[in-house]
Structure 1
Amino acid sequence: MRDENNIRGGKVCSIEGWRRAALSNKQTVTLLSAGSSFKIKVHDDSMKDEGIRAGDLIDCERADSLASGELGLMRTPYGVMVRRFLIVGCVVCLEAANAEYPKLCMDCCDVEILGRLLKLERRFDESEVA
């Protein structure tokens, strides 16, 4: 059972790099640089059907807008999360790529776009490549 105040649907556990920034829901992330790109580390399986797994690093480009259907990093009342960004009528829906996670639909004022996903980086330990 999920705590509705802490939906893990794509929430990011860290953004690796230099600067710290306070986010909603007492989360702290570290931005890679003051430039236009940064990395995030995903900690759950909410985007597994897109090939994004817990522990993956994702290169993101800072963005303040996304086209409907794009994968992005967003800050919401539920935390920071990676989701497919969809515009449905006059609301924004954030869709996980795992049926176990709910589609979140909310007013566009409740969603802040932080970045666009560019590239996935996966690291394997020796036990996984044997």
Structure 2
Amino acid sequence: MGRTPAGQTRERIFQFVRERLLAGQPPTVREVQEAFGFRSVQSAREHLEALVAAGQLVKQPGKARGYRLADPPETFADETQTAAAPRLIPLLGRVAAGAFALAVEDLEGYLPVQADRAGDGSELFGLRVHGESMRDAGILPGDIVIVRRQPSADDGAIVVALIGEEATIKRLRRHGGRIGLHPANPDYQVLYPDPAELQVLGRIIEVRRYLD
């Protein structure tokens, strides 16, 4: 059996990486190697670097899962006029549901969401969860939360809150003139941040979990 032309293999690799990115699961080079049966990691890396050179992917140095799509993909460009067409929103790095983690917007890829939830897509973003402080609310490490960007939230809403330069996921409660950020795990304490340092980034409207 003849070998598959390099261009066809590269296109298949691009589609594989693209689908993983849209699902919020950026692949490593080794995962690409295994998926396509290459004998060496270097073969997979050469194809990925060629896709970077062609402008189809962007590589973020120093990250094992550092490939992302060069621009917001046009997967649904032809259907955006219909009410049922999904929209794409950015998946931005990680957020702690536990101990605070430095809040850095680190674009990993894009996620499809229902059009009626996304509006024009600009007000939603995704974050990957670390920590177990929201365990009993069904938000676990590795989950992806979809966040509606808004500067305030109703009492009882689960929010992404920024305190100084650190972000966390908690349930917002108002106690008179104070705001408490409540965990959903008895092993963690309620936080009462200084109002001058607290910023609500948005309210969580959806949780996604991948089993593999």
- TM-score calculated relative to the size of structure 2: 0.45
User: Number of aligned pairs?
Assistant: 106
Corresponding position of 2:135: 48
Distance in structure 2 (CA, Å) of the matches to 1:121 and 1:42: 10
- Please list every run of 5 or more consecutive structure 2 residues that lacks an aligned counterpart in the other structure: 1-89, 94-100, 111-120
Query: Counterpart of 2:205?
Result: 118
User: 1:82 pairs with 153, 156, 169, which one?
Assistant: 169
The 5 Å alignment of 1:69-108 reads 69-77=156-164, 79-108=166-195
**Cα 1:60/1:79, change in 2 over 3 Å:** same
Question: Residue 44 and residue 26 in structure 1: after superposition, are their counterparts in 2 closer, same or farther (change >3 A)?
Answer: closer
1:28 aligns with 2:104: yes
CA distance in 1, matches of 2:142, 2:195: 29
State the Cα RMSD in Å: 2.6
1:101 deviates by: 1.0
Cα distance in 2, alignment partners of residues 107 and 29 from structure 1: 23
Q: TM-score, normalised by structure 1?
A: 0.72
AA at the equivalent of 1:28? V
- What amino acid sits opposite 1:29 in the alignment? E
- Superposed CA deviations along residues 44-85 of structure 1, whole A, max 9, x for unmatched, are 111000000000001110000111111100001472001001
Structure 1 or 2, whichever has the larger Rg, is 2
Contact 2:173 2:182 in 1 (8 A): yes
Which segment is superposed worse, 28-37 or 114-123? 28-37
Aligned position for 1:21: none
Q: Select the residue among 155, 171, 184 that pairs with 1:68.
A: 155
The 8 Å contact of residues 69 and 86 in structure 1, kept in 2 or not, is answered as yes
Q: Which has the higher helix share?
A: 2
Q: Tell me, in whole angstroms, the C-alpha distance in 2 between the residues paired with 1:36 and 1:53.
A: 24
Structure 2 CA distance, aligned partners of 1:50 and 1:35?
A: 26
Higher strand share: 1
SS in structure 2 opposite 1:101?
coil
Question: C-alpha distance in 2, partners of 1:98/1:67?
Answer: 21
Query: Alignment identity in percent?
Result: 26
Structure 1 position 105, deviation (Å): 1.0
Where relative contact order (Cα < 8 A, 6+ residues apart) is larger, the structure is 1
| Compared CA separation, residues 64 and 97, structure 1 to 2 (3 A) | same
Unaligned runs of 5+ in 1: 1-14, 19-24, 126-130
